[in-house]
Amino acid sequence: MKVSESMNRDAEKDPQIIDAHQDLVRHIEQSARRMRILAALTVVVAAFLSVSYAAQLALPLMGTTTQTVDLADPALVATELIVLGFALAWLYVGLRDLRFTSRIGSEIASARAKETEIQKKLA
The dihedral built from the CA positions of residue 116, 120, 121 and 123, taken in this order, carries a sign that is: positive
- Say what the pLDDT of residue 6 is: 52
The tens place of each residue's pLDDT in the chain, 123 residues long, gives: 455 555 455 555 666 777 777 777 787 878 778 888 888 888 888 888 888 888 888 888 888 776 677 888 899 889 889 888 888 888 888 888 888 878 887 887 887 888 888 888 877
Alpha carbons 32 and 55: distance in angstroms, whole number: 34
Residues in the chain: 123
Q: Please indicate, yes or no, whether the overall pTM of this predicted structure exceeds 0.85.
A: no
The angle formed by the CA atoms of residues 61, 65 and 67, to the nearest 5 degrees, is 165
- Say what the pLDDT of residue 78 is: 92
Residue 72 CA from chain centroid, whole number = 37
